Amino acid sequence: MIRLHHVPLARSFRVLWLMEEMGLDYEVAYYSIRDGSMRTPEFRALSPAGRVPVLEHEGAAWFESGAIVQLLCETYPQAGLAPAPGTGERARFLEMLNYSETVGCLLENLNMNLVFLRPPARPSVPVVKLLHARLRASLAAIEARMEGDYLLPSGFSAADIMFAYGFELARHYVDLDAYPRLAAYWERLRARSAYQRAKARDGEQDMYAQDFYPVPEEE
């Protein structure tokens, strides 16, 4: 039995997409960040910090999206979505798997300031400006390194899933067309049938009320 604990458009989408690429059979348990469904003792028993994703996999429960992606790649090596330890592309693979959370944390902090804060709390304009600048720099760094169609020269891998999920959120804060290689890469990934099947099971997001969140004006 495989069950993914998932919030639409959250980092758990990485695991959903990976499982579609791998052709696994799985169930999805849906939650919302807004409705308290992640605060139950049952969910906390699976995820100590009350976060998604959690993957229940044949009697075990795993949390942290990067760890789950790596564990699935090791459990199902026949899917060919991760270079094996000791091979030439392994270092780049692990770098990108973890760099995805450098970008993920910037996006989470932008979400916190611009999407989740409720009045009378107000976002800090200097902090939002700093987060924007750091997000743009993090994307530009990969834009400059991107040579082929995917992050690894040998082709599509689970590192693409980990990293490219961030575009789903980043497009609410930056113009992705400013990064032509990344924009073309994102188009290429969204054309994958496994991505489209994962989107069909993602569910309705209740995070973003606007398509784009500009940097707020100084008072």
Ligand X SMILES: N[C@@H](CCC(=O)N[C@@H](CS)C(=O)NCC(=O)O)C(=O)O
CB of 11 to ligand X, least distance (A): 4
User: Nearest 10 degrees: CA dihedral of 131, 132, 136, 141?
Assistant: -10
Q: Examine residue 64 and tell whether it contacts ligand X (CB under 6 A).
A: yes
Number of Cβ within 10 Å of residue 106's Cβ equals 24
Provide Rg for the chain, Cα atoms: 17
- Asked whether position 6 contacts ligand X by CB under 6 A, the answer is no
Question: Coil, strand, or helix at residue 179?
Answer: coil
Distances (CA, A) of 66 to 40, 99, 117, 179, 212: 24, 10, 27, 25, 27
Least distance between ligand X and beta carbon 211 (Å): 19
Considering beta carbons, is residue 7 or 103 the nearer one to ligand X? Answer: 7
Contact flag: residue 136 with ligand X (CB under 6 A): no
| Residue placing its CB nearer to ligand X in the complex, 62 or 150 | 62
Segment contacting ligand X by CB under 6 A, of 18-26, 63-71, 81-89, 148-156: 63-71
Dihedral, CA of residue 69, residue 74, residue 78 and residue 80, to nearest 10: 50
Tell me if 11 contacts ligand X by CB under 6 A: yes
187/206 with CB nearer ligand X: 206
Query: DSSP character for 178?
Result: G
Cα–Cα distance, 67 to 3 (Å, whole number): 16
Contact flag: residue 33 with ligand X (CB under 6 A): yes
The verdict on 101 binding ligand X (CB under 6 A) reads yes
Number of residues this chain uses to bind ligand X (CB under 6 A): 13
Q: Is 51 in the site for ligand X (CB under 6 A)?
A: yes
Which 3 state secondary structure label does DSSP give 67? helix
- The binding site for ligand X (CB under 6 A) comprises 7, 10-11, 33, 38, 50-53, 64-66, 101
